[in-house]
A and B are shown apart, each in its own frame.
Chain A
Amino acid sequence: MKRAQISLFAASVATASMLLAACGGSSESSETAAAPAAPSEAAAPSEAAAPSEAAVPGEPIVIGLPIAQSGPAGIADHKDCWNGAILAQEEINANGGVNGRSIELDVTDIDILTPEGITAGFQKLTGDGVSALVSPFVIIPPAAMEVAGPYGAPYLSGDTNIDAQNIRSGDPAKYGNYFVDPPETYYGSGFVTFLSQLQESGKWTPKNNKVDIIRGDTAYNQNIAQATIDAIKASGGAWELGEVIDITAGTKDWSPVLQKLAANDAGAIMVDHWIGAELASFSQQFAAAPVDGSLVYLQYGPSQPEYLEIAGDSAEGFVWGTVIGTGNTSAEDKAFRAAYQAKFGVDDKSMGLVYPAWCYDMVNVLANAWATTDPADFAAVNAFIAANPINGVTGFLDFTNGVTPLYPTEIDDPTKGVTHYFYQVQGGRHTVIAPDNDAEAAFVPPAWMK
């Protein structure tokens, strides 16, 4: 099938280029005009690429993975996702597959920054006739949904994007196959809840109730900042908004920011920025000249393996959180971590904590559904996934509304939603400190808070 597509494209390009090349001058012989016959012959096989044909019993079930490998953004997270999916696939295949059929991953590069790049990547997979799509975040989710929706196969995505989820709920008939993790706005409300809980627990006594927010320039970070501000307002005076400091991606010198932070002297500081390396740089510079007594929360970035590696000792004591992370308390979590670390030669410090688990879970969600449904019957699979939650390493995956609910912000029962984990770097590794039932250790005030 792939070969057919390559030859199809090559033939058409060759024809077109020959013809247009001939436009360049007039004295070339006119024999090239005979070429147009070629592409129509080559075109025939690609029509066989209808999705229904992929589901011949006994053949492998194909999961499509659009993984960014060449662009300027998101490659590290996407690689993590790929690894997680490979782990799940190998485990399932080692256990005899799904109904005797093995699972296969169809991986393609995707340019997550342009709509046409996203379209091309997804169309490559739908064109290959995959039975499901598992995708880490793409920057522009609607472009992906535009292709995946009409295709109909289950599309499990790591997009924490409230607006994409609004689009889904606006047209469930078209986007009913879109299953996502909780939106980014929960980072905001979850953070404020976390602060309150921490204060109540007595582990931390804030020096004042001000919260400074360092806001990154993506819509993602702006949404989080807005949600945080709303949550602070809703806290009824328990917390108070300090200053919102805007930064751009690519910030290398944090000293102006640090100077502002020192001047404000807020009780809690939220660094609402997503690039791990830049957060590591922040940690280094902050640790060298800290604001005494302030709790510092970094957003999801430290989950990337490079954070600890770069920040080194400076990372000690920083708090961060994610809505789809890996815990380390339950048996499944530990087993997953051990398997992943064994397979990819990493350890607790250098393991990604978000996407490996999420994509691992998603492959398992699919395998679970395919155990009782026909992979070719997309509607049935979608219905099954929505109706049958399973327990994964990120938490309880309940896609009743297409979106997994979040504990503890949305629901109170940890067994009914995925967990919003909070970690603190303790002893050089990420240690879960909240929510309480998953916590490995309690919050420990870092050096500058003692």
Chain B
Amino acid sequence: MAILELAGVSAGYGPVRVLHDVNLSVNPGERLGLVGLNGHGKTTLLSAIVGLTGWQDGSIIFEGRQIGGRRTHGMGRTTPNIVRQGIALAPQGDAIFPGLTVRENLDSGAYTRATWRSRRSRCDHVLDVFAPLRPLLRQTAGTLSGGERRMVSVGRALMADARLYLVDEPSLGLAPKISLGLVAALCEINIGDGAMIIAEQNLPLLNGRVDRVLGMHAGELKQDVGEALGDIPPAAEAMAQGMHHGRAL
């Protein structure tokens, strides 16, 4: 049975409709890549799953429970409930708590009553993945660099005892070398029979690391990734070669 089943999901903000009748099903143990250009609805799709859009319509079934449906009221009102059912989101932009220490930030990811007790061991586990955070545990998160913040943000999502991890644009605004490392780390994490969706603009970053890649274009899902990426942004290697051309083709 699919862990997540989207049927006819439309969503948007205010007068704007960003997603159009999206159908998607994610299987247990699957790592799914979601690629597409800016503004074509990747973030909105992930936000819709946790109810962070302005309004949405359609059915989202997570582990047999309906978490979507028709909603027009405020953004983020149902999010905490959905998150507590076992979905962890590392949002675009670092939604970390700048005044708390790194440890407190990570702890806050284990918010539910059950995970709260095991937060120490979970924290160790996350620090194994993101080793650079270990010496920074007592530091205030607001003073971290962009890469470290992103690690805290993703690490916080990993603290939860989730069945479905959603990671939004791990590479955004990061230098190629850092983003590559981050994505590689993400893809090595053992998710068991849970699932993970990584939204990413940079297709080569995901190549070969995820089980399946879907494209996103103008608010619709495309099986054909090339169609979604009219212009595939160059990966690091391609950039170096592409310098001699007028534009990257």
Chain A–chain B contact at Cβ < 8 A: no
The residues of B with any CB-CB pair to A shorter than 8 Å are none
Which residues of A are in contact with B by a Cβ distance under 8 Å?
A: none
